[in-house]
Amino acid sequence: MPLLSNPFGVHERALALRDQRSTILAANMANVDTPNYKARDINFREILEGASNPNMMDLTHREHMNTEFGASGDILKYRMPSAPSLNGNTVEMDVEQGQYADNAMRYQATLTFLNSKISGITKALRGE
Amino acid sequence: MSFFDVLAISGSGMHAQMIRMNATSSNLANVGVAASSAEEAYKAKRAVFRTIYDTSAEDYKASVGVEDVVHADRPNERRFEPGNPLANEDGYIYISNVNSIEEMMDMQMSSRAYQANVEVINTAKKLVLNTLRLGK
């Protein structure tokens, strides 16, 4: 029964990713006036598709490379600024604020979805 | 949960902007203040920020700190005012090199950045509380 074996599906992973992305966007906004800081972001869809892909390699040993964040670094991308600035900073406040609001809204949407899923399962188990 | 990191990162941003605003208010308070020599005259102060990467964290975590407070290298204006009690033996006084228009703009920018950080914290707080209520 898929409802009970994997009740949350991809949303569990999506929630964690949105959570991580909020840190990146907050760091961008905190560094809006830091000389030479380069704004970073992740491609949410790409990572999520990788997560739902059954061919993705598992980390079964501590020496295994984590291809998500950190080591390889290719998941964490640089944002291309629409206009260059003299101090080498690529953070554009309006873009970051928009992305942060979008991220927060989608996080809330996932939460709402999970909530209704949980209440649905509870209802089904009670047989009401 | 990374939302707690958000609080730390935005908090560091607010702290850095606060130091910058302190420098700005010192500068504005010293507009047009005279001294008897170019060395003694007030020089505009400016905070320089630096990114602090947390390499121990698994996720990307880049907070901000103040690297240094530097002085503006514009020369201080020399003015001939023999009647001024601060004037040197040749009758000159030296005025602080603060440009008040520049300072007003800098203050505006840091206040905007500070507000943005506050908004980020507020949103993160709301989402954390909603997450804690999950399934209720």
Q: Per residue in A1-22, pLDDT tens?
A: 566 778 888 888 899 999 999 9
pLDDT for the residue numbered A52: 55
pLDDT for the residue numbered A57: 61
What ipTM describes this predicted complex? 0.86
Do B77 and B95 form a contact (C-beta atoms < 8 A)?
yes
pLDDT for the residue numbered A72: 41
Whether B60 has its CB under 8 Å from any CB of chain A: the answer is yes
pLDDT for the residue numbered A37: 94
Nearest Cβ partner for B2 among A23, A70, A97: A23
Model pTM greater than 0.80?
Answer: yes
Integer Cα distance of B77 and B38 in angstroms: 8
Residue that is written with structure tokens 């700190």 in the block: B65
Compute CA B63 distance to the chain's CA centroid, rounded to the nearest angstrom. Answer: 16
Q: Which residue has the higher pLDDT, A5 or B34?
A: B34
Q: Which of the four pLDDT bands, split at 50, 70 and 90, describes residue B59? A: confident
Q: pLDDT averaged over chain B?
A: 92
| Choice among A72-86, B21-35, B69-83, B96-110 with the minimum mean pLDDT | A72-86
Integer Cα distance of A107 and A70 in angstroms: 23
Helix, strand, coil content of chain B in percent (nearest 5): 45, 20, 35
Positive or negative: CA dihedral B18, B24, B26, B29: negative
User: Which chain B residues are closer than 8 Å to A93 by Cβ?
Assistant: 112-113, 116
pLDDT for the residue numbered A88: 92
Whether A20 has its CB under 8 Å from any CB of chain B: the answer is yes
Whether A11 has its CB under 8 Å from any CB of chain B: the answer is no
